[in-house]
């Protein structure tokens, strides 16, 4: 039997750039829930924004990239056992919401609420914790082929798997990935798996350009060199598909202008301010614009298969691990924009 830790601690946002570490009594699972002892929780750009803003995130979203072992299961739970490694995910389409009943199960309202931490069963805090109680439908078993480090990166990899799948790109496509942070590096790998003929990665940071090159991408440039390289690669037409992963509002229209007439602009980065675009430009060039946010359960399953089969490398993105007490320091460092880190984990046991 997997032994539960005696201590339960968690960190939450209590105001702009303010964190508080709290303790609570041993948590018991809901009848349809499980309790997970957290192994690692990844620090995401969303966590940084939530920390600096102080109130924008639902509590469950602060620390949403987590993996751990099940330490207790509810009376009504089947298919999940104590001691099993799991990742935090979303459940299957519910079949009962308005979207499902209308035949749009891929846009299930219940799954969307779970992905955004606002469902009725959402936990009171996220994975920056020693232990977390969640609905059993929201955990996915981790295959033996994945290490704990790889399991901790399944969630962001599922975000990008979902986005690439939504574009339904044609084989041999000329692809641009704008931004080589964790989301951009994962997107580029999924695009390569999806049959892209050539992938160009644009990134201002030399360290992140180096990370892209280590993943096997040859066409890696600073933003000022992107247009010239793309002109040569696409014979002046532009990209078939451009994935905007930087989330900088001012880049939206310039990004669209790099896409060929009839091409696709896929939006992953989430700007926190309004963007100005040329509606007439997008319309006259018949651009397909695809927004992508979060994921479905099948994206987690496909992502884990890709990792297990070594089709994508997620482990190399992990560049550091800290304890709960150092979370605030790392959030400040990441917010400053000059960190050398790609992906940092919190190990709540340390």
In the chain, what are the domain boundaries? 9-153+314-346, 159-291
Single out the residue of 66, 76, 69, 80 nearest to residue 3, CA to CA. 69
Residue 321 dihedral angles phi and psi, to the nearest 5°: -140, 135
pLDDT band with cut points at 50, 70 and 90 for residue 6 = low
Nearest to 304 by CA among 83, 70, 67: 67
pLDDT of residue 85: 98
Beta carbons of 246 and 180 less than 8 angstroms apart? no
Among 18-32, 139-153, 295-309, 317-331, the range scoring the smallest mean pLDDT is 18-32
Average pLDDT, the chain: 95
Lowest-confidence pick of 81-85, 185-189, 251-255: 251-255
Assess whether pLDDT exceeds 80 at residue 145: yes
C-beta of residue 111 within 8 angstroms of C-beta of residue 91: yes
Class of residue 77 by CB neighbours under 10 A (exposed 0-12, middle 13-18, buried 19+): buried
The CA dihedral of 297, 303, 305, 308, to the nearest 10 degrees, is -140
Fold match, 9-153+314-346 / 159-291:
no
Taking each continuous run of H as one helix and of E as one strand, the counts in the chain are 12, 15
Instruction: Please give the Cα distance from 325 to 21 (Å, whole number).
Output: 8
Of 192, 216, 196, 212, residue with least CA distance to 204:
212
342 DSSP 8-state letter: S
pTM for this model (two decimals)? 0.94
Q: Judge whether 190 and 158 are in contact, CB under 8 Å.
A: no
- What is the pLDDT, as a whole number, of residue 187? 98
For residues 4 and 168, the model is more confident at 168
Residue 2 clears pLDDT 50, i.e. is over it: no
Distance, in Å, from the CA atom of 131 to the CA atom of 35, rounded to the nearest integer, reads: 7
Instruction: Just give the CATH number of 159-291.
Output: 3.40.50.720
pLDDT category, 272, cuts 50, 70, 90? Answer: confident
Inter-residue contact 37 to 130 (CB < 8 Å): yes
What's the confidence (pLDDT) of residue 350?
Answer: 85
Among 3.90.180.10, 3.30.450.20, 3.40.50.2300, 3.40.50.300, name the CATH number for the domain at 9-153+314-346: 3.90.180.10
- Token couple for 344: 């940092």
52 CB-side CA count, 13 A: 13
Extract the runs of DSSP E, i.e. beta strands, from 203-307. Answer: 219-221, 239-244, 259-267, 288-291
Contacts of 285 (CB under 8 A, 6+ apart): 259, 261, 262
Note the pLDDT of residue 24: 84
In this predicted structure, the answer to whether residue 300 has a pLDDT above a threshold of 80 is: yes
């Amino acid at each position: 039997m997997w032994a539960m830790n005696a201590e339960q601690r968690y960190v939450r946002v209590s105001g702009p750039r303010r964190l508080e570490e709290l303790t609570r009594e041993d948590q018991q699972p809901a009848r349809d829930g499980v309790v997970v002892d957290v192994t690692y929780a990844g620090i995401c750009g969303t966590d940084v924004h939530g920390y600096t803003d102080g109130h924008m995130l639902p509590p469950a979203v602060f620390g949403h990239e987590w993996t751990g072992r099940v330490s207790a299961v509810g009376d009504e739970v089947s298919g999940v056992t104590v001691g099993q490694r799991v990742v935090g995910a979303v459940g299957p389409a519910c079949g009962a919401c308005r979207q499902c009943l209308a035949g749009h199960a891929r846009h299930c309202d219940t799954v969307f609420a779970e992905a955004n931490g606002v469902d009725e069963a959402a936990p009171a805090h996220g994975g920056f914790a020693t232990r977390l109680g969640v609905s059993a439908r929201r955990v996915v078993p981790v295959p033996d082929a994945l290490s704990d480090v790889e399991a901790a990166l399944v969630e962001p990899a599922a975000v990008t798997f979902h986005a690439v799948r939504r574009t339904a790109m044609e084989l041999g496509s000329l692809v641009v990935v704008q931004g080589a942070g964790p989301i951009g590096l994962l997107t580029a790998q999924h695009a390569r798996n999806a049959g892209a003929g050539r992938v160009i990665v644009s990134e201002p940071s030399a360290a992140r350009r180096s990370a892209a090159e280590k993943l096997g991408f040859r066409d890696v440039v600073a933003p000022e060199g992107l247009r010239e390289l793309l002109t040569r690669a696409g014979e002046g037409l532009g990209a078939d598909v451009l994935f905007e992963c930087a989330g900088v509002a001012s880049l939206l229209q310039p990004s669209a202008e790099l896409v060929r007439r009839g091409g696709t602009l896929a939006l992953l980065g989430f700007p926190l301010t309004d963007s100005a675009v040329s509606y007439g430009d997008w319309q006259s060039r018949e651009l397909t614009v695809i927004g992508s946010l979060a994921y479905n359960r099948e994206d987690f399953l496909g992502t884990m298969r890709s990792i297990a089969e070594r089709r994508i490398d997620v482990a190399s993105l992990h560049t550091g691990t800290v304890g709960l007490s150092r979370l605030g320091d790392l959030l400040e460092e990441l917010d400053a924009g000059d960190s050398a880190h790609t992906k940092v984990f919190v190990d709540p046991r340390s």
